[in-house]
Each structure stands twice: as C-alpha cells, then as structure tokens.
Amino acid sequence: MARLIDGKAIAATLRAEVAARAAHLSYRPGLVVVLVGEDAASSVYVRNKDRAATAVGFDSRTIKLAAATSEPELLAVIEGLNNDQEVDGILVQLPLPPHIATEAIIRAIDPAKDVDGFHPENVAALALGKPRLVPCTPRGVMLLLGAAGIDPRGARATVLGRSNIVGRPLAALLLAADATVTIAHSRTRDLAAECRRADILIAAVGRPGLVQGSWIAPGATIIDVGINRAPDGTLVGDVDFASAITVAGAITPVPGGVGPMTIACLLDNTLLAAAARRG
Ligand code: GUN
C-alpha cells in the first residue's frame, strides 16, 4: 500500500510560514485577482484565493468584470494595477471569454507582479534554468515531492500533459532539479509504457482515472494534478486511485493533494514579488 502525501497538511504549513513572514513586514503585500465573467468554477477558485490571501494578512482584492468587458477595457484595468505601488501581485483568472486574446492580457501584466508566472519573461527565465516567478501548481508539485522526501535528482520523471499552466513548466522545474524528464501527451504512442518507466509520475491531463495501477512501476511516486467531476458528482483525479495505491510507493489523493498547494504557492509568490519590488 502506498504512503499518502498529505497536500492539505503540507499546504497548511506553507500558509502558516507565509503568514509569519508577512507579519514581520512593514507593509501589507497586495494581491489583486481579476475575474472576467461568471464561470462557476472560476468564481469558486477566485473566492478561495481571496480568502486565503486575507487569512495570511495580505491586502487582497477581487475585481469582477462583466463577461462583455472588451480587451481594451481589461488592458486599462491591468495598466492601472501595474502603476499602483500598493499592488504586488496581479492574477487574471483563466479562462477568459473567447473575444479576449489571453496572450495579449498576460503580456500586459508587469512581469514583476506576475504571480502566476505566465508572462513570457518569466516563462523564459524558467526555460533558461533561472526561475523567477514560477507557475503555482508546478511549484506546488515540487514542494510536495520535497516534503514527502522524494528527491528528483537522477530519477526518471514522466509528466503526462503539456499545458502552459502545468505540464511544460513542471517539466522545466524537474529538469532544473536534475531529473531525467519525459513529457507524454495525447499523441504519445504507448502511454502505459512511458508511465511504467517512471520513478516519479505526474498526471496533468484532465482525464478522469486515465492512469491505471497496471501502468505504474512498483514503488513509484504518483502525483495527481487532475481535478475532474465524476458522473456521481465527486471529485476524481487523472489516476485510478484504488488500483494505483496498491502498486505505488507514495501517492497524492484528490482532493487534498496538489489542489491546496496551488493557493499556498500563490501566497508565497505574492510574498516573493513584494519582497523583490519593495526590497
Ligand atoms: N485557471 C486554472 N488554473 C489557473 C491558474 O493557475 N491561474 C490562473 N490565473 N487561472 C487559472
């Protein structure tokens, strides 16, 4: 039976550390989350981010804009936040409505305030092995590995999924940590064989229960980034937990694994951005 990696507890520890460091500052780190439209899942995520930021003592604010907001209007809001000296972190919740070019919006955010780590300058810094602000979920995965005592150095790490938010930046972080990295995806010829080679397997594809226990090497570490709604309404990951736990050495549950780490890392990124800007 695999050991469970308790993301909820590890995230709580990180949030407490952020709160303790914030308490020693002469200012309150400022985080602004921008939500365009009324997507139900996005609204829940944004509320959770705002609450978590307030709980660690940040000056947190959510700007809610109508779904019909134009791209120039949104750009003007970002420009205002870039110029506001009290704002340390800017997060524009994705996805944006289809009439807005996501790339143009991300590029408009001051890279020093880009707590999502999505701006091309921050993406390039990570790709060049000199990470600055790093996307929250990949960073959370690396912290989970560290807290669970799993060292990526020299290990075969396979990332399932190549999204800009998780798969690509996570592969770069694993490479920076000296893992031997494989990125597998929907066009990979034999997904099961790629998975079986992995000492560390990270699933981030958004396909419920895709990874079977029979795809896993005995003793491997399994990190499940998936958050999928099952037909019965429960949340399930990209890994078939029941069969995986009998084979793996360590595994994250869904919920209570990677999810809580994402918000904790957002808070930590905001603190880093504030410290870098304000000295
Ligand atoms: N939507 C889903 N995940 C994320 C994230 O990490 N950041 C932002 N801004 N939007 C998201």
Minimal CA–CA distance to 127: which of 112, 138, 115? Answer: 138
Which pair of tokens denotes residue 191? 């997904």
Instruction: Judge whether 212 counts as a catalytic residue.
Output: no
**Ligand 1 shell residues, CB under 6 Å:** 91-94, 116, 136-137, 165
Of 239, 236, 273, nearest to 134 (Cα)? 273
Is the domain of 140 the same as that of 254?
Answer: yes
Residues 66 and 177 in one domain: no
Alpha helix locations (H) across 84-179? 102-108, 120-127, 136-147, 167-176
| In a domain? residue 238 | yes
Active site residue 59: no
The answer on 236 and 149 residing in a single domain is yes
**165 and 221 belong to one structural domain:** yes
In this structure, is residue 15 part of a structural domain? no
Global pTM value? 0.97
| Catalytic annotation, pick one of 50, 88, 116, 240 | 116
Could you check whether the bond before residue 95 is cis, i.e. omega within 30 degrees of 0? yes
| 264 confidence band (pLDDT: 50, 70, 90) | very high
The total of structural domains in the chain comes to 2
Q: Check if the beta carbon of residue 274 is closer than 8 Å to that of residue 246.
A: no
CATH value at residue 231: 3.40.50.720
Find the domain containing 32 and state its range. 28-110
Q: What is the mean pLDDT of residues 69-85?
A: 98
Out of 81, 90, 93, 106, mutate this one to test ligand 1's pocket (max ligand atoms within 8 Å of CB): namely 93
133 and 115 Cβ atoms separated by less than 8 Å: yes
Domain membership of residue 19 (yes or no) is no
Query: Is residue 102 located within the same domain as residue 145?
Result: no
Is residue 12 assigned to a domain? Answer: no
* 266 CA: nearest ligand 1 atom: 6
95 Cα nearest atom in ligand 1: 1
The catalytically annotated residue of 88, 93, 113, 224 is 93
- The CATH code of the domain that includes 45 is 3.40.50.10860
CB of 109 closer than 8 Å to CB of 90: yes
Is 254 found in the same domain as 142? yes
Please choose from 32, 34, 45 the residue to mutate so as to test ligand 1's pocket, defined by most ligand atoms within 8 A of CB: 45
pLDDT greater than 90 at residue 279: no
Contacts of 20 (CB under 8 A, 6+ apart): none
User: In angstroms, rounded to a whole number, what is the distance separating the alpha carbons of residues 90 and 128?
Assistant: 24
| Other C-beta atoms lying within 10 Å of the C-beta of residue 23 | 9
Encode pLDDT of 89-124 as tens digits.
Answer: 999 999 999 999 999 999 999 999 999 999 999 999
| Residue with CA at minimum distance from ligand 1 atom 2 | 94
> Whole-number mean pLDDT of the chain?
98
- For 181-188, what is the mean pLDDT? 98
Active-site residue identified among 49, 113, 199, 224: 49
With a cut of 90, say whether residue 43 has pLDDT above it: yes
Interval 58-86 mean pLDDT? 98
Q: Is the dihedral of CA 2, 167, 265, 99 positive or negative?
A: negative
Please report the pLDDT score of residue 30 as a whole number: 98
Residue to substitute in 100, 116, 166 for testing ligand 1 pocket (most ligand atoms within 8 angstroms of CB): 116
Say if 55 falls within a structural domain: yes
Do the domain assignments include residue 179? yes
Do residues 106 and 64 both lie within one domain?
Answer: yes
Q: Which atom of ligand 1 is nearest to the CA of 137?
A: 6
Q: Is 140 exposed, middle or buried (0-12, 13-18, 19+ CB in 10 A)?
A: buried
Determine the distance separating the centroid of ligand 1 and the alpha carbon of 166, expressed in angstroms.
10
